[in-house]
Structure 1
Amino acid sequence: MAAKETSENSPKGQSKAPAQQKLRGTRQLKKEVVDLRTLLIHCAQAVAADDRLLAGELIKKIRQHSSRDGEWCQRLAFYFVNGLEARLAGTGSQLFHKMRAKQVSYEDMLKVYNFYLAVCPFHRASQTFANQTISEASVGQSKVHIVDFGVCSAFQWPSLIQRFGEQGMPPRLRITDIIEVPRPGFNPLESIEWAGKLLADYANMYKVPFQYQGIYSRYEDIQIEDLNIEEDEMLIIHCMYRMKNLGDETVAMDSARDRVLKIMRRMNPKVFIVGILNGSYSSPFFLTRFKELLFHYSSMFDMLDMNAPRDNEERKVLEGGMLGRDMLNIIACEGADRIERPETYQQWRARCLKAGFEQLPLDPAIMKSVLWMKKEFYHEDFVADEDSGWLLQGWKGRVLYALSKWKVNGSCADQ
């Protein structure tokens, strides 16, 4: 990581130090100032050891060379040092909940969403993966019910509704949004009303019979009877990038993520579509977690820097309001307050198998579509690959997201 080095103009002839000494001094300054990665790791070590004097000095030094408006490494350091300072002060939980409580208008959400679609292929590929999977599974079906463990944004579904409408004889489509328990600043009834109206307008436009319902509950407390699943409808479960917020074994031995997977299996879907943020920074050990987090978000911020102007307002909202909030949570919060707990796709594969699901193969046509999209519209350093039935997406060789589809394993005993 390299911040831009600043230089001072000195009067001509003021210094008579030998050139070699000047060069050595410049190298020392460069080593001390520019290597933000090393400074951040040293600072995390000082915070972990509760060496307040050293941590304070390093925080001050990092702040001098970080900026929310600079190049990617300076921006990254700006948010990381916020987390380290909050952890040192013991205010991480308080700051995180304050950030979560800030309301974002639907207009701003849509702007950031469209910005993200424009600069990277991750969510567009997720939509392609989910919509093609649902379309293929729905052939010949008169009723399709999608249970979405999501965020009630509704941005995923207009393209699917259009696809159904263009078939000529669309199935009756039901979408049930399961929305996590309300948090400060979040109005679930308003969100449900907004999403339902948006999707109903699209369904009317494309003449697709449509029903929508929203249920807000902790995922692990959902009651299957509340979903009103009908015997003659094809059920699909859709869960994109939300499983990382469920508690793991460091919170409770019978982890929430395993309980939710078992509930999903009991729902008996024809297809279960899952997308995960691929990360190995859920470790209970702070320094291990911090270093993995640094690698992961270095890729994210580098990707944004290569694909968006530094003064772009949507980029600033994404980095500060969303990614910055997540980084604060991972760095400065512990126990139940730390809700960002991503795992690798290999770990999620083991969990799905354990819960009684059988993995379905990746459709070559979906892979071909994603590779075409990446090549036509996005930077050459985006990567897409397959491993063990997972569609992997990343930046410069680092896997950031993974997608897969599953069916209930009929040979397993009822969970």
Structure 2
Amino acid sequence: MKTELRGNTTSISLQNPSLFNTPQSSLSGALKGCLGSLDGACIEKLLLHCASALEHNDGTLVQQVMWVLNNVASLVGDPNQRLTSWFLRALVSRASKVCPTAMDFDGSSRIQRRQMSVTELAVYVDLIPWHRFGFCASNSAIFKAIEGHSKVHILDFSITHCMQWPTLIDAVAKRPEGPPSLRITVPSCRPPVPPFLNVSCEEVGLRLSNFAKFRDVPFEFNVIDDPSYLASTEIMPKESSHDFHFESLLNHLTPSVLNLRDDEALVINCQNWLRYLSNIEQKGSRVQDSSLRDAFLRTVKAFNPCIVIVVDEDSDLSAPSLSSRITTCFNYLWIPFDALETFLPKDSRQRIEYESDIGHKIENIISFEGLQRIERLEPGIKVSERMKNAGFLSVPFCKDTIGEVRSLLEEHASGWGMKREEDHMLMLTWKGHNAVFATAWVPSDLQD
């Protein structure tokens, strides 16, 4: 008879059920006193011991720790229990790869990523200010940067399907001098990460066009076609392939393909995007001895944009060490789990689905290595260093932008806050913990 461990929708069968007839006192000393504990520090310790056991191919200890974690984990428990359930799932997935003789992983139990309608995506974005913070800060900075320009072109690199642009369209429609002609260009490929939408880029563009027409804003929407992007004909990318052909996309980022025009103010918008570009040096390619991340920044700088916006989560999840990633990830992704606890019931479907999308990220961070690990987040300070090395200068956010962001946060739970860091960076915080950063940049040679 097999002892079965079910974490969320993941199922593993442990091949030595007698291990779990062992009394707690005989478990590894590192596990003593942890059984049933919901303390975050103890859970983190268990996760690190599991990681260490995996790295040393100690299948017995892996099974023991997972058993303890399974007694703590719950999809409908408190934030620590819910977060633990997703870490357990990620560790089970990793264990099935490195210890196949110790456990049988049912790969068919992988969660099917849900596709949202545009209306559902709007609700998703509004749930907590995780995305709206960046939208608000970015749109305000863009609005200021394009003052006096009659034509504007935005290159939009983001994962949220253009959800920030209706607000900007509405803002420019109210300009005293009249709205500019607005052109938005998006890539056909995107990282295979939630949120997923059940309509195409072209349909999103059509909806934006209709809204712009309603607001009397001249508007054009374009998609950068990349024939090498295998998933371009699929609404939802295959999770197992992690298809994100960015090096090919980089070859398509040229003035002619983008139809850049001298009479337009060019805006580069990067929302939760840079982390998915490899920060590993690529040798033997056209970006010789450089990462795709740096190559992208050099490419967009050459376009002489009037402003570059970079928004992302403020955490370092790019370490090669599994233990380091577990520690950072556990202490960082506690934030959205705790924030959702403040206003949604434990059995809320909306809450469970939102947490499932965070679980997707956890699985990639913990379970995968090499090119399959696409979640390589860098903190704001490190990103700022990259921007400066690429030839950009930071632009501090003005008082109006700060005021707009504060007004936005007043719509959400009292735990959300904002602070300035490094003089140029706006930081979204939850109970004092850094969550999301927003920065604005210009090419250094555009400054007086």
Report if TM-score (shorter chain) is over 0.5.
Answer: yes
Do structure 1's residue 148 and structure 2's residue 156 form an aligned pair?
yes
Do structure 1's residue 61 and structure 2's residue 68 form an aligned pair?
yes
Report the more deviating stretch, 200-209 or 56-65. Answer: 56-65
- Calculate the aligned-residue CA RMSD, in Å: 2.9
C-alpha distance in structure 1 between counterparts of 2:95 and 2:86, whole Å: 14
* Residue equivalent to 2:274: 243
Judged with a 3 Å threshold, the aligned counterparts in structure 2 of structure 1 residues 46 and 216 are, in CA distance, closer, same or farther, namely farther
**Is there any run of 5+ residues in structure 2 with no aligned partner, and where?**
1-30, 100-104, 227-245, 284-288
* Residue equivalent to 2:13: none
C-alpha distance in structure 2 between counterparts of 1:173 and 1:411, whole Å: 22
Q: How far off its partner does 1:138 sit?
A: 1.9
Q: Which of 205, 210, 218 is matched with 1:201 structurally?
A: 210
Q: How far off its partner does 1:40 sit?
A: 2.1
3-state secondary structure, aligned to 1:307: coil
C-alpha distance in structure 2 between counterparts of 1:290 and 1:174, whole Å: 41
3-state secondary structure, aligned to 1:87: helix
Do the aligned partners of 2:141 and 2:397 also contact (CA within 8 Å) in 1? no
Q: How far off its partner does 1:182 sit?
A: 7.9
* Residue equivalent to 2:28: none
C-alpha distance in structure 1 between counterparts of 2:172 and 2:166, whole Å: 10
**Structure with the largest fraction of helix:** 1
3-state secondary structure, aligned to 2:298: helix
* AA of the residue aligned to 2:306: K
1:344-388, Cα deviation, whole Å (9 max, x unpaired): 1110011001111111112122112222332x3222222210012
**Is there any run of 5+ residues in structure 1 with no aligned partner, and where?**
1-27
* AA of the residue aligned to 1:334: E
* Residue equivalent to 2:399: 364
Q: Which of 74, 77, 80 is matched with 1:73 structurally?
A: 80
Do the aligned partners of 1:99 and 1:325 also contact (CA within 8 Å) in 2? no
1:237-276, Cα deviation, whole Å (9 max, x unpaired): 1111111111112776511100110111011100001102
* Residue equivalent to 2:440: 405
C-alpha distance in structure 2 between counterparts of 1:362 and 1:346, whole Å: 16
Q: How far off its partner does 1:29 sit?
A: 8.8
Do structure 1's residue 105 and structure 2's residue 115 form an aligned pair?
yes
State TM-score, norm by structure 2: 0.78
- In the alignment of these two chains, the number of paired residues is 379
* AA of the residue aligned to 1:105: Q
Judged with a 3 Å threshold, the aligned counterparts in structure 2 of structure 1 residues 187 and 367 are, in CA distance, closer, same or farther, namely closer
* AA of the residue aligned to 1:123: H
Q: Which of 276, 292, 305 is matched with 1:269 structurally?
A: 305
Q: How far off its partner does 1:39 sit?
A: 2.2
Aligned runs of 1:288-367 on 2, under 5 Å?
A: 288-320=324-356, 322-367=357-402
Q: How far off its partner does 1:42 sit?
A: 2.1
Do structure 1's residue 222 and structure 2's residue 252 form an aligned pair?
yes
Report the more deviating stretch, 332-341 or 300-309. Answer: 300-309
C-alpha distance in structure 2 between counterparts of 1:65 and 1:189, whole Å: 35
Q: How far off its partner does 1:187 sit?
A: 10
Q: How far off its partner does 1:166 sit?
A: 2.1
Q: How far off its partner does 1:181 sit?
A: 5.7
1:75-122, Cα deviation, whole Å (9 max, x unpaired): 111110111111111189x9999969x564341x6425424423x223
Q: Which of 36, 40, 49 is matched with 1:33 structurally?
A: 36
Do the aligned partners of 1:282 and 1:340 also contact (CA within 8 Å) in 2? yes
Do the aligned partners of 1:152 and 1:179 also contact (CA within 8 Å) in 2? no
Do structure 1's residue 278 and structure 2's residue 308 form an aligned pair?
no
Judged with a 3 Å threshold, the aligned counterparts in structure 2 of structure 1 residues 95 and 333 are, in CA distance, closer, same or farther, namely farther
1:109-146, Cα deviation, whole Å (9 max, x unpaired): 6425424423x223222122111112112222110111
1:272-329, Cα deviation, whole Å (9 max, x unpaired): 0110211112100111111111111122211221232222222211211x21111000
Do the aligned partners of 2:281 and 2:292 also contact (CA within 8 Å) in 1? no
Do structure 1's residue 84 and structure 2's residue 119 form an aligned pair?
no
Q: Which of 170, 178, 186 is matched with 1:177 structurally?
A: 186
* Residue equivalent to 1:232: 263
Report the more deviating stretch, 306-315 or 202-211. Answer: 306-315
3-state secondary structure, aligned to 2:201: helix
* Residue equivalent to 1:10: none
Judged with a 3 Å threshold, the aligned counterparts in structure 2 of structure 1 residues 103 and 63 are, in CA distance, closer, same or farther, namely closer
